[in-house]
Amino acid sequence: MLDKKNEIIKKLRDAKKAHRRWVSNAQTLAQGVPVKNDQLPLNETECGFGSWYYGEGQALRKQPVFRAIEAPHTALHATYLQIFNLLFRERKVGLFGRLLGKKAEPTPAELDEAKRLISVLNGESLKIMDLLDSLEDVIVSMDETEFRNLFF
C-alpha cells in the first residue's frame, strides 16, 4: 500500500509541475511571445494538470480539498480565454494596411486589461497550488486504513 501511496504523491507532484508550466506559458504568451498551440490548451480538461485532475486524480475525489480545486482551475482557464481573446482575436485591418502586410495590434487599453487579467490568473494559480499542497499533506498524513478507504 505504501508503494501506491508514493505513486499517487508522485503523480500529484507531476500534476503540480504541469500546472506551473502551463501558467508560465500563459504568462509568456500574454507578453506577446509566441508559444506552440499544444502548450496552452484553452479547455481545463486538456491541460496537463486537467488531464490528471479529471483522470487519475479522481481517485482522490472523496477529499474535500480535491473537490475545492475545480472552481479555481475552471476560473483560471476562463481568465486565460479572456486574455487570449483580447490579444489574439482577429482584428480588421484597412485596405492600405493589408496591402502592406500589417496586422492589427491590440490597443493600449486591451494590453492594460490583459495585464490585469494576468494578475487574476496568477491569483487563481496560487489558490490551486495552495490546495494542491494541502491535498498532498492530507495524503501524506493518512494512515493505511484511511488511504485504503480512498479506493473503496
pLDDT in tens, the chain (152 residues): 779 999 999 999 999 999 999 999 888 877 767 666 655 667 889 888 999 999 999 999 999 999 999 999 999 999 998 988 888 766 555 555 445 554 667 788 888 898 899 999 999 999 999 999 999 999 999 998 988 888 77
Neighbours of 10 (CB within 10 A): 10
Report pTM: 0.84
CA 100 from centroid of its chain's CA atoms: 38
What separation in angstroms does the CA of 117 have from each of 7, 103, 104? Answer: 35, 23, 21
Amino acid occupying residue 83: I
